[in-house]
Amino acid sequence: MNDDLHRILIKGGVTSPGELKDIITMLEAAGLSTVFFGSRQDILFPLKDAKEEQLEGISKLNTDIIGNRSYQNIVSSYVSADIFDMTYWLKGSTYLYILEGFDFSPKLKINITDPKQRLVPIFNGNLNFIASDSEDYWYLNIKLPHWKTSAFYPVLIYSWDINIVSKRIEEIHEDIQDVEELFFVMNKHLETNNKTMEKELKIPFQTFPYYEGMNRLGTDSYWLGLYWRNNKYDLRFLKDFCGFCLDNSIGKICVTPWKSFIVKGIKTSSRPELERFLGKRGINVRHSQLEMNWHVPVDDGEALELKKFLVSSFDQNDISTYGLTFGISNEMGNRSHFASVVIEKNSLPTLVKDFDVRPSYNVLYFENFDPNTQNYTTYAQDIDKIELPGLLMELSKMYFDQLGRATDSEKITTKEVVDTKHRVYQCQDCFTVYDEVLGDGVAGIHPGTKFGVLPDTYSCPVCDGPKSNFSETFLLIE
């Protein structure tokens, strides 16, 4: 993420149309026309000339602008409540009561989530509160910044104690070395309504949901999800949309970690007006899931271009990625992502940083392609950009091959690039591959035919590009 971006912390990813309209008015006063949504359900924007204090003075609701990156937004799966699978006792109002109880700005990352949903990450915080089967009690998974591994707190936490437990851990965490020491210190200085943990947390596998468009909610209302490809949300549109919500008694707007937003409780009678509102502004509400299941760094043009390249390759090769998620990372070694598959850009060696060198990438995936396993495996290392589409297509096929049956990490083996390179020729327009082993049955070219002996009139079977458009590359094979 661009370190120059300032933030407005939207606690739990939940705001009201009035509050968001107030924020937009403040940002417009700073000369801004667009805003970003962050992966921790916050609002991000560049702030160069205007001073924070001057802008905060414009706000009627005392909105805080955060320039200090040490403060963290609280993440919650309130956005998923009532529209995706959920724990039986957990209601939207439960999240709101818990979030309202936070009377401090945390520096630790706090996640408050339902284990039965997949839209909001469960384990990528420092304090991860996860709903249990016991009403109003939560598991607490902890990974403090100086801990190498995560651990579960030995008891369940009561809903109304989440705030005080979080605040106390904030105060003492720097000197705590493990969960046993933490439990001892917390019991010594804090009285809470804990409950014995009768069984370990087991999180059911969920495919990644489609979260855009107008969708029915109950018998007399709808929910709407909106997504922008480049994560640059037009302030004028957002302001008008807040006005629509206020006029139609819609109380909450929710920011998702996928840099989109969801509105629940749209009355059936309001739907025609909303469709006119969106249609007149040319808003697309049916993007392909090929591009909606990506986690890309905010305000990173290079990462966005890489995503477009890979999505185009999937589309042209008619590859399904339903249920999978992909992430792009510029921080080598950072394992805090919540995507099934991560494309990690390697850092350039110091000796060549001043030269124009093509970047290389590593490809990693979670065990069983489930981020909740918290166990990454390296699939390939030091890969050129042109090789990435083929690798990701292989992983997609592996995902569907193991889907719905018991798997373990041994069924999908790590790829060693140095031993498994296979030469092919790839069209640079549509990325179709000519494999000498297979030939080209459509063009009547027999298996085993070398690319070099193909006639100059040979063309790509997909886009009709000339033979000269093909270039030699290498793919990984089984």
Write out the residue limits of the CATH 3.30.413.10 domain(s) in the chain.
289-415
Q: CA-CA distance, 107 to 89, in Å (whole number)?
A: 29
| β-bridge mates for residue 343, sequence order | 328, 363
Q: What is the pLDDT of residue 218?
A: 84
Spatial neighbors of 363 by CB under 8 A, at least 6 apart, are 341, 342, 343, 344, 378, 379, 380, 381, 383, 388, 391, 392, 395
Q: CA-CA distance, 289 to 307, in Å (whole number)?
A: 13
CATH superfamily of 1-122+203-287: Sulfite Reductase Hemoprotein;Domain 2 (3.90.480.10)
pTM over 0.95: no
Ordered per-residue pLDDT tens for the chain, 478 residues: 455 788 999 999 999 999 999 999 989 988 899 999 999 999 999 876 555 666 666 666 667 677 777 899 999 999 999 999 899 999 999 999 999 999 999 999 999 999 999 999 999 999 999 999 999 999 999 999 999 899 999 999 999 999 999 999 999 999 999 999 999 999 988 999 999 998 999 998 888 999 999 999 988 899 999 999 889 999 999 999 999 999 999 999 999 999 999 999 999 999 999 999 999 999 988 888 888 999 998 888 899 999 999 999 999 998 888 889 999 988 766 656 789 999 999 876 655 556 667 889 999 999 889 998 888 889 999 999 999 999 999 999 999 888 766 444 434 443 443 445 577 888 776 667 788 877 887 677 887 888 888 888 888 876 678 898 888 876 654 4
The b-or-e profile of 171-196 (16+ CB within 10 A means b, else e) is eebeebeebeebbebbeeeeebebee
Q: What is the pLDDT of residue 55?
A: 66
Half-sphere exposure of 386 (CA within 13 A, CB side): 18
Write out the residue limits of the CATH 3.90.480.10 domain(s) in the chain.
1-122+203-287
Q: What is the pLDDT of residue 35?
A: 94
Write out the residue limits of the CATH 2.20.28.10 domain(s) in the chain.
420-478
**Which of the following CATH numbers is that of domain 289-415: 3.30.413.10, 3.30.420.110, 3.40.50.300, 3.40.718.10?**
3.30.413.10
333 φψ region: left (φ > 0), alpha (ψ -120 to 50), beta (else)? left
Domain 420-478 has CATH 2.20.28.10: yes
